[in-house]
Amino acid sequence: MTVWAIVVAAGGGTRFGGAKQFEELGTGRVVDHAVAVAQRSCDAVVVVVPPDRPWDGAPVAASARGGATRSESVRAGLAEVPDSVEIVVVHDAARPLATVALFDAVITAVRNGADGAVPGVEIADTLKQLDGDQIVATISREGMVAVQTPQAFRAAELRAAHRGGLEATDDAALVEAAGGRVVVVSGEVGNAKITAPEDLDLAEALLAARMAR
């Protein structure tokens, strides 16, 4: 089954204070690491970049200009994926340390019959529901996971889920809402998302440790 990846790198990085995906990390930029692992794992890659910033990294199959929201940016990437492609993997550029093994796990789950597959990690902390700054409920961790990217989908299911122009924080939510069967595979603790400047420092340390092995 033909597999293409969409690397979403169009965000403005409001919480970071700038476009974190273009920050330096080791021997490249954050986005370069995300694109490199996608290229090693998939047949081709589409990179979605900010509207005012052309793609200037490694050669890819296509680049697209992102939209005002994450879902709009994914749809821009999907428009560059040929109709003949059977599996689409969506990966956030802000997760530069995902491994080929993690890509393989979600892709294999879709090849084995799921409509979608996402990596999930157990939640170690106690969860509290708030109303302002007041705690109103303690939520059980049982059956809960924190979800990461890369997320793999049958291309037809992903396209159908996006057809209505709906918005969600990840693509699995749209496929679930459309009735698709999305499964969870084991995520990676080291597949941290860069949100704040200190997350970049952590990614530097994790990358250095990985390179030293």
For residue range 152-161, list pLDDT tens digits in order: 999 999 999 9
Identify the CATH number of the domain in which residue 117 sits: 3.90.550.10
Number of domains the chain contains: 1
Confidence of residue 176 (pLDDT cuts 50, 70, 90): very high
Confidence of residue 213 (pLDDT cuts 50, 70, 90): confident
Task: Write down the pTM of the prediction.
Answer: 0.95
State residue 168's pLDDT score.
96
Neighbours of 65 (CB within 10 A): 16
Cα 161 from Cα 169, distance rounded (Å): 13
Q: Which two tokens stand for residue 190?
A: 């080291």
Q: Give residue 109's domain range.
A: 3-212
Cα 15 from Cα 172, distance rounded (Å): 23
Residue 111 has pLDDT above 80, yes or no: yes
Determine the 3-state secondary structure of 187 from DSSP. coil
Residue 19 has pLDDT above 90, yes or no: no
Cα 185 from Cα 167, distance rounded (Å): 24
